[in-house]
Amino acid sequence: MTVGSLLDRAFRMYGGNFALMLGIVAVSYVPIYAVSLALNAWAMTVGGENAIYIKAGAQLVILLLGGLIAYPLSEGAAIVAVSERYLGRPASIGQAYRQALRRWGTILNAQISVGLRVLLGLILLIVPGVIWALNYSVTVPAVMLEGLKATDAMRRSKELTLGERSKVLSIMFVIGALFFVVGIAMAVAVSMVIALDTPGGELVLEVTSDLAQLFTSPLGVIAPILLYYDFRIRKEGFDLEMLSQAMAHGSAAGTSATPAAPGI
């Protein structure tokens, strides 16, 4: 797939599986957003210097719970769900999370390993960090779909993205720009209704910002999965393997299986 067709496929897959993908992200992130919102509301009632510490605590809650639990689990579950739909099979939130929970430690290890390497690369004049981010962009799909350990998945991602960095960069740029534009649009919309420099305005802005992230983040998960499949199809003829798996699944169920077109 070209960059344009891949982005189109990502949007169509999200639209065609909106409730499933949004539900997967919501299961992980809504509780964290709720805790953060409660802490910020508490800070409003407390006021003064203590409010600063409470707000800092709210940010720390999002950072820790999001990074250690929500992000790895939601990404792992989304990979399972998208892959099942890619093969024309039914997928559910519960099924996706059960598989993600079994691989949570490996996913977290992979994400931390990639994150630290990218951070180090950014410190070393930025360019190495960008290159490493591109190289390891399909690490988690390799963990979930090939059952690899973190270091093996990183090596596998580097192998699959070889010669495809420009495509990965283009996808990451477009998705990142979308997140930025939606965030700015939400902030502008809120500022037209209520002053942002008031406690109430800050709270409303936080709620709308959380909602914007909730609705846009599935695209950031779907895109790397489609990149992973595109690289395998392009380099390894993986479309035949997918067809074989789908037909075997249908035979085992006693029915004839016709794989759904990717993105449905």
On whether residue 263 sits in a domain, the answer given is: no
On whether residue 14 sits in a domain, the answer given is: yes
Phi-psi region of 147 (alpha: psi -120 to 50; beta: other; left: phi over 0): left
On whether residue 262 sits in a domain, the answer given is: no
Least confident of 152-156, 172-176, 203-207: 203-207
| Maximal CA-CA distance, the chain | 67
On whether residue 258 sits in a domain, the answer given is: no
Q: How far is 12 from 261, CA to CA, in rounded Å? A: 11
The total of structural domains in the chain comes to 1
On whether residue 22 sits in a domain, the answer given is: yes
246 pLDDT more than 80: no
Highest mean pLDDT among 39-48, 99-108, 207-216, 234-243: 99-108
Res. 168 pLDDT band, cuts 50 70 90: very high
On whether residue 257 sits in a domain, the answer given is: no
Quote the domain boundaries for residue 31.
3-252
The residue among 118 and 84 whose pLDDT is bigger is 118
Contact residues for 72 (Cβ-Cβ < 8 A; gap 6+):
100, 104, 107, 108, 111, 140
255 pLDDT more than 50: no
Phi-psi region of 88 (alpha: psi -120 to 50; beta: other; left: phi over 0): left
Q: How many residues does the chain have?
A: 264
198 pLDDT more than 80: no
Residue 13 confidence (pLDDT): 87
Is residue 92 helix, strand or coil? Answer: coil
On whether residue 172 sits in a domain, the answer given is: yes
Q: How far is 93 from 17, CA to CA, in rounded Å? A: 11
The predicted-structure confidence for 129-158, as pLDDT tens digits, reads as follows: 899 999 999 999 999 988 899 999 999 999
The predicted-structure confidence for 44-95, as pLDDT tens digits, reads as follows: 788 777 878 888 888 888 888 888 998 899 999 999 998 888 777 888 999 9
Residue 217 confidence (pLDDT): 86
Residue range 113-142: mean pLDDT, rounded: 91
* AA identity, residue 234: R
Residue range 85-111: mean pLDDT, rounded: 90
164 pLDDT more than 80: yes
Six-digit token string for 32:
């964290």
Highest mean pLDDT among 12-26, 74-88, 239-253: 12-26
Q: How far is 140 from 207, CA to CA, in rounded Å? A: 29
Cβ–Cβ under 8 Å, residues 114 and 139: yes
Residue range 224-230: mean pLDDT, rounded: 89
191 pLDDT more than 50: yes
Residue range 188-207: mean pLDDT, rounded: 77
On whether residue 261 sits in a domain, the answer given is: no
Residue 245 confidence (pLDDT): 59
